[in-house]
Chains A and B, each alone.
Chain A
Amino acid sequence: MRRWLLQVSAVLAAAALVLAACGGSASDGGSGSGQQGGGQTGDLKRIVVGLQAEPVTLDPHQVTDYNSNRAAQGIFDRLVEFKDESTELEPGLAERWDVSDDGLVYRFYLRQGVTFHDGTPFNAEAVKFSIERQIDPNHPYHDTGEFAYAEFTFGKVREVRVVDEYTVEIELVEPYAPFLAHMAMHSASIVSPAAVEKYGRDFSKNPVGTGPFKFVRWEPGVEVVLEKNEEYWDGAPRVDQVIYRPIIEDQARLTEFEAGALDFIVNIPPDEVARLKASDQYTVLEQPGMHVWYLVFNVTKEPFNKKEVRQAVNYAINKRAIVEELLQNTGVLATGPLPPVVWGYTDDVTQYDYNPDKARELLAQAGYPDGFTVDFWVPESGSGMQQPRAMAAAIQADLRQVGIEMNIQTFEWGTYLDKVLGPVEELPEVFEMSWIGDNGDPDNFLYILLSGDQWPPNGFNMGYYKNEQVDELLRQAQRINDQAERQRLYEEALRLLVEDAPWAWIDHETQIVAMKKSIQGFKLHPTGVFRFENVDVVNN
């Protein structure tokens, strides 16, 4: 009996070891080849990227988060692409396009001779498939995913028409100038219809596109491996392999990077940025992102229904101190709702420099010489929220100086989203929010976040702000295709908005990445995706 038990437990233990070691990784027979992941291993040029968390899907139509977007980006192309370092547009899978005079019909002329990684030819049908799969509930492959961005990206589409093999027309329900920028978003990626038909819902883990990198494998929790597409229409990438690894802990990711097993990392702890910059082994790149962090004033309630009170809060918060000391310059000071990287931006607006005296004056004018007390909702964390609790505490302390008492209530992110998008009667007077832009069109900030048409549940104007004059400017800017005229309209809208102060804007978060010096030619993109197609690995 004893021997029997001993043997059984030995076998069980051995089985557990083997089971664990082989778990889900049978696809690659290679043995451990050493710790050094990055750079050139043998003749292989490889970049190992440390992400903040694991991607949840590689189906670009289902992407809703940065990590998935970053890992999926290189597998696919879009008809229109953002230029290297801006959100200006350039041809992608469409060689050129024209727009009808009434602004309703977009005709795209497609690149010929392009094939998907599985050999399926790229053509007008594939474009139609990629869009209709998301927006047509009766499409045979509509049930292969949840398309969170479908309505946002293609909400204005009436019909997608195949004109011939390499020409496709998209008709809109009304003129809508930001549409072209939408066509450069991840949700407008062109997927292989044959692959979606083959894998169904599992397309999200078997992605097939036309992009510069081909999907090799995805080991859950461990890594996503891509390899270069030798047949890429725009020339094969110089890097052979890109590997995305989720390393959740910021400090652990940095240690792993410095130990040499990662070549490229995101979200460097602010305290460590200066040290990395000083090192001659690494390149640190920074760029203000398409992001804004703000306090939403609930204008349906006292006291923030008064413009003077909203302005007073903007004057009373020492925003510069928050950016420089608390955030350690991992963001740039905001002068309005629109980040400077987005066109349409102007700094010719009312400036709210830190001025508590002016704030007290404005409060007195508004009838609150002794200040007031309000509820203030804060999430514990959240996408784009930076350091929500520390920032809330700083704001609370600043506002106490001018007599405004804020009762902070903290919620877990999932709960928080639920509550701030809930019924207006239950909203507090003021709460924190942030927004990460999708396509670099000012409409994607100003209209969605501040137009009177965009009160929840239609949009994200969560403070229920409404200004007829602004609304008219924003609607007008949607209808015309003349860029210079649109710029003028947005500048005008910005001036009105900043004066009216529907929010207290704090900062625009900076994207910071660090990479080994051997990685050359990498450029940050405002949308936050990583493009490795023009990057090389050069070891000295």
Chain B
Amino acid sequence: MTTYIARRMLASIPVLLGVSILVFLIMHLAPGDPALIMLGPKATAEALERLRQELGLDQPLYIQYVRWLGNVLQGDLGRSVQLKREVSELLATRFSATLLLTAGASLLAVVVGVVAGVTSAARQYSLLDRVSMLTALVGFCLPVFWLGLLLQITLGYRWPIFPVSGMNSPGTTGLLDTLWHLVLPAVTLATGAAAVIARMTRSSVLEVIRQDYIRTARAKGLSERVVLYRHALRNALIPVLTVVGLQVGFLLGGAVLVEMVFSWPGIGLLMVNGILARDFPLVQGAVLVVAASYVIINLLVDVLYAFVDPRIRY
């Protein structure tokens, strides 16, 4: 297992390298001059020239890339052109906000999705099954920003139970306050994923529930709950796990709309602003971090397969 993990880690290096080259090229091929965007139309030609030199934009592309890579290997992600702060400092605060949002949403999506899926499967074609699957279908189709605004207006304003936006009450910090602010964005983000997980769990459980060992388990006199969750779900979990892994990765990247609606200070928002400002160091650093977390999540899912199904060995 350890060798497997080490091998997978090594294999991720070319992936990350490839991603960084791709992003570098795309950013630099897009029209728009970071110096001009940053200094605005009121800057003089000399000021623009000076800034371009400072940013190294007057150098050939491959030299710029090699320089950047060299710095990254020494742990220096550079300085954001637009926000005038170290990229690593920005990413550290912003990425943890996204991580919290994604973790909250994933937890919610998995719990709600799996319970709804198993329950639906156990009572196939019942009213409960139909209602929960219809809800899942609707939940999957709801645009994230619309759902977010709706939740803000209802649960934030009409019945002010939860805060409308941000990560803290003005002028304060604190874990409980943050968790309280997390509720609406996490629900918004989780809805689509929960729907997918619920439908996947249902069909996957339905497949195993007709098999002999389930009948055996029931014949042994086990309670229905134990049969469903210990025996059926366990064996239905592999495809569900794949979907969960994909969804978590998707949530990580897809958090940007939720971050915009709820002014959640995450990495998605940072990246969008960075792209609009042609903030090369920032965007490259952010993409690198997101790509790395994709790789790690994928690895985690693969390792979990072995944990869930002992027949899988690496």
Spot the interface stretch: A98-106, A216-224, A518-526: A216-224
Across the interface, do A247 and B176 meet the contact criterion of CB distance under 8 Å? Answer: no
> Which of B79-87, B119-127, B196-204 contacts the other chain?
B79-87
Q: CA–CA, A134 to B270, complex, Å?
A: 28
A17 at the interface (CB under 8 A from B): yes
Which residues of chain B in 158-202 are interfacial with respect to chain A, using CB atoms and an 8 Å cutoff? Answer: 160, 163-180
Q: A5 touching B173 by the CB < 8 A rule?
A: no
Closest 5 CB pairs of A and B: A32-B177, A221-B265, A20-B100, A24-B93, A414-B32
Give chain B nearest CB distance to A63 CB in angstroms: 10
| A255 with B152: CB separation less than 8 A | yes
20 sample A-B contacts, Cβ–Cβ < 8 Å, listed by A number? A5-B303, A5-B307, A20-B96, A25-B173, A28-B171, A31-B177, A32-B177, A35-B169, A46-B171, A62-B84, A247-B263, A248-B263, A249-B261, A252-B262, A252-B263, A256-B165, A259-B160, A415-B32, A419-B31, A457-B44
* Residues on B with beta carbons closer than 8 Å to the beta carbon of A155: 44
A31-B172, A418-B36 provided; 13 other pairs, C-beta below 8 A? A16-B96, A16-B99, A20-B96, A21-B175, A27-B173, A33-B172, A59-B84, A220-B93, A221-B94, A249-B149, A256-B166, A259-B156, A415-B30
Query: Could you list which residues of chain A lie within 8 angstroms of chain B, going by C-beta atoms?
Result: 1-2, 5, 13, 16-35, 37-38, 46, 48, 53-54, 56-57, 59, 62, 64-65, 145-152, 155, 201, 204-205, 219-223, 225, 241, 243, 245-249, 251-253, 255-256, 258-261, 412-415, 417-419, 421, 438, 457, 460
Contact A56 B166 (CB under 8 A): no
- Size category of the binding interface on chain B: 35 or more
The reply on B260 being an interface residue by CB < 8 A is: yes
Cross-chain contact of A148 among B42, B54, B97, B170 (Cβ < 8 A): B42
Are A31 and B176 in contact, CB atoms less than 8 angstroms apart? yes
Contact B165 A222 (CB under 8 A): no
Known: A414-B32, A419-B31. A222 touches B265 (CB 8 A): yes
Q: How far is the CB of B168 from chain A (nearest CB, A)?
A: 6
Q: Do residues B277 and A245 form an inter-chain contact, with CB atoms below 8 A?
A: no
B158 to chain A minimum Cβ distance, whole angstroms, is 9
A238 CB to closest chain B CB (Å) equals 18
CB-defined contacts of A145 to chain B, threshold 8 Å: 84
Give the residue name and chain of the A residue nearest to B304 (CB): A5
A228 to B30 CA separation, bound complex (whole angstroms): 45
Query: Does B60 belong to the interface (CB within 8 Å)?
Result: no
Which A residues touch B148, using CB under 8 A? 252
Q: Distance (Å) between the CB of A313 and the closest chain B CB?
A: 24
Q: Complex Cα distance A223/B90, Å?
A: 14
Q: What is the bound-complex CA distance between A25 and B173, given in angstroms? A: 7
B38 adjacent to chain A (CB < 8 Å): yes
- Interface pair A28/B175, CB less than 8 Å apart: no
Q: Which residues does chain A contribute within 8 Å of B152, judged by CB atoms?
A: 252, 255-256
Q: Is the beta-carbon distance between B103 and A17 smaller than 8 angstroms?
A: yes
In the bound complex, residues from chain B placing their C-beta under 8 Å from that of A457 are 44-45
- Given the known A-B contacts A32-B180, A64-B38, A151-B43, are A56 and B82 also in contact in the complex, defined by CB atoms under 8 Å? yes
Q: Does B40 contact A (CB under 8 A)?
A: yes
Question: What is the chain A residue whose CB lies nearest that of B172?
Answer: A30
B149 / chain A contacts, CB cutoff of 8 Å: 249, 251-252, 255
Indicate if the CB atoms of A221 and B93 lie closer than 8 Å. Answer: yes
Q: Is the pair A225, B171 in contact by a Cβ cutoff of 8 Å?
A: yes
Using Cβ atoms and an 8 Å threshold, which residues of chain B touch A146?
38-39, 47, 51, 54
The answer to whether B100 touches A21 (Cβ under 8 A) is yes
Q: Is B92 an interface residue (CB 8 A)?
A: yes
Specify which chain A residues have a CB less than 8 angstroms from the CB of B277 in the assembled complex: 414
- The 8 A CB mask of B23-37 against A (1 = contact, 0 = none) is 000000011110011
Instruction: Identify A150's interface contact among B31, B47, B276, CB under 8 A.
Output: B47
Cβ of A357 to closest chain B Cβ, rounded Å: 37
Are A37 and B169 touching (Cβ within 8 A)?
yes
User: Min CB distance, B115 to chain A, in Å?
Assistant: 19
A137 to B278 alpha-carbon distance, docked (Å): 26
8 Å CB contact of B93 from A23, A64, A246: A23
What is the distance, in angstroms, from A418's C-beta to the closest C-beta of chain B?
Answer: 5
Whole-angstrom distance between the Cβ of A440 and the nearest chain B Cβ: 16
Q: Are A249 and B93 in contact (CB under 8 A)?
A: no
CA distance A27 to B171 in the complex (A): 11
Q: How many whole Å from A181's CB to the nearest CB in chain B?
A: 15
Known: A1-B307, A20-B100, A412-B276. A252 touches B164 (CB 8 A): yes
Contact A32 B32, beta carbon cutoff 8 Å: no
Tell me which of A2, A46, A151 contacts B307 (CB under 8 A). A2
Pick the most buried of B97, B171, B307: most chain A CB atoms within 10 A of its CB: B171
B134 CB to nearest chain A CB (Å): 28
Nearest opposing residue in chain B for A246, CB measure: B263
**Given contacts A23-B97, A412-B276, A222 and B168 within 8 Å (CB-CB):** yes
In the bound complex, CA of A146 to CA of B48 (Å):
9
Indicate if the CB atoms of B170 and A243 lie closer than 8 Å. Answer: yes
- Do residues B170 and A245 form an inter-chain contact, with CB atoms below 8 A? yes
- Does A32 contact B171, Cβ atoms closer than 8 Å? no
| Chain B: minimal CB distance from A179 (Å) | 17
Tell which of A19, A27, A48, A54 touches B170, judged by Cβ atoms closer than 8 Å.
A48
List the A side residues contacting B1 at CB < 8 Å. Answer: 1
Cβ of B147 under 8 Å from chain A: no
User: Which residues of B are found within 8 Å of A412, using beta-carbon distances?
Assistant: 32, 276
The CA of A13 and the CA of B102, in the complex, are separated in Å by 11
* A148-B39 in contact given A21-B175, A221-B269 (Cβ < 8 Å): yes
What separation, in Å, do the CA atoms of A418 and B270 have in the docked complex? 23
In the complex, the answer to whether A20 meets B47 with C-beta atoms within 8 Å is no
Q: How far is the CA of A419 from the CA of B33 in the complex (A)?
A: 10
Q: At the interface, yes or no: B221 with Cβ under 8 Å from chain A? A: no
